[in-house]
Amino acid sequence: MSSLISLVLILYFAHTSSQTAVLALPSPIRDGMLPNGHFELGPKPSNLKKTLIIGKHSLPKWEIKGIVEYVSGGPQPGGYYFAIPRGTHAARLGNEASISQYIPVEAGSTYSLTFSATRTCAQDEKLMVQADGHSGELPIQTLYSTDGGDTYAYAFKAVGSIVKVIFHNPGIQEDPTCGPLLDATAIKKMTPLRYTAGNLVKNGDFEIGPYVFKNFSTGVLLLPKIHDIISPLPGWIVESLKPVKYVDSKHFVVPASGLYAIELVGGRETAIAQIIRTIPNKFYRLMFTIGDAKNGCHGSMMVEAFAARETLKLKHESRGKGEFKTGVLKFKAVSTRTRITFYSAYYHTKLHDYGHFCGPVLDNVKVWFY
């Protein structure tokens, strides 16, 4: 009898403990910086050997593995210079090193990570991002800005209520400390897409997108589909070799109707597309706006638009003053699905900074039938 009572008590406490554990689960993380995502909370001096972090949990809120350095911006030993525009400190990942943290999320929702990543030594440095079974490898050998401001977005769909986010350097350099620099990391929950009345294009004004840093931004690079299957720009596919850039009205000039737009920074190597529903043999109009972001990008710009069997080449002579123009492409649908695609015909750099890639801005994409 006593053994039966003991068994009942054990089952009861096991049940109440599990209920308490469920109730104790943290609320999903809010949009914004990850805990210590700016790396301004550093290790204790006793856990640092010069810049090398000693101890798995010595970097507050993060778990480290391998050679991870806690560095400050400015000149470095050996003649290097680390640009850290969003703060004072950053984490540098050496050979096969990684940093990670667990984040409470809403299961089934799509999230986008925004993070600053810059190579520090070798031309072929890479950065692997992993979240909830998804992973993508960033080829960060191309620098799109010369001030250390390259920022990327990576999207994933949460399977459970807790996600482990990992930043990993898969490279092996001659100098074991060589590797990418992480300056800031943030997260944003993606809003479900809805059609706008009179427009067959979803998110045609690009207002739904990744988190953008408020204090300093050179735009957010959106990876091609081969590196990130789930787009951080809902509704759109980056189907090219190079990324496109998500720009905001606080740091760039975008058409007055919205807060965000897309900059086609990779010329013919950058293409953005969406597949829309159409009725075969019906006629449609595709309207879109192009211009420059008043960011020093100049010269003869041209955006090519494709829909069904039709093409439009829209030219814009940029004087770097934030001017825009609108184009209209008429097409006849040949299927129940029509792909609309945009890319920049030319390569561009800033007028006074030839190492800084730029391009025409695309916004206000609309399709309707007539």
Residue 167, token pair as written in the block: 């930043």
Distance CA 270, CA 61 (A): 36
Give the count of beta carbons closer than 10 Å to the beta carbon of residue 126.
Answer: 18
pLDDT at residue 16, as a whole number: 41
User: pLDDT at position 19, please?
Assistant: 43
Residue 5, classed as helix, strand or coil, is helix
**The token pair that represents 110 in the structure block:** 């799509």
Tokens of 12: 């009861």
Query: Diameter of the chain by CA atoms?
Result: 91
CB atoms closer than 10 angstroms to residue 256: 9
Any bridge partners for residue 14, and if so which? none
CB 210 within 8 A of CB 248: no
Question: 138 to each of 49, 93, 143, how far by Cα in Å?
Answer: 29, 14, 12
Amino acid at 102: Y
Look up tokens 């015909």; give the residue: 345
pLDDT of the residue at 17: 43
Q: How many CA atoms lie within 13 A of 82 on its CB side?
A: 26
Amino acid letter, residue 243: P
Whats the size of the chain, residue-wise? Answer: 370
Q: Tell me the pLDDT tens digit for each residue of 90-126.
A: 999 999 999 999 999 999 999 999 999 888 886 678 8
Which parts of the chain sit beneath pLDDT 70? 1-25, 122-123
The token pair at 188 is 């944003």
Tokens for 232, please give them: 């951080």
Contact 299, 349 (CB under 8 A): no
Quick: pLDDT tens for 55-90.
Answer: 999 999 999 999 999 998 877 777 777 777 777 899
Nearest to 361 by CA among 319, 329, 325, 307: 325
pTM of the predicted model as reported, rounded to 2 decimal places: 0.88
Q: Where are the alpha helices (DSSP H) in the chain?
A: 2-23
Identify the structural domains of the chain with CATH numbers, from first to last.
32-189 (2.60.120.260), 225-369 (2.60.120.260)
Q: How far apart are CA 117 and CA 141, in angstroms?
A: 11
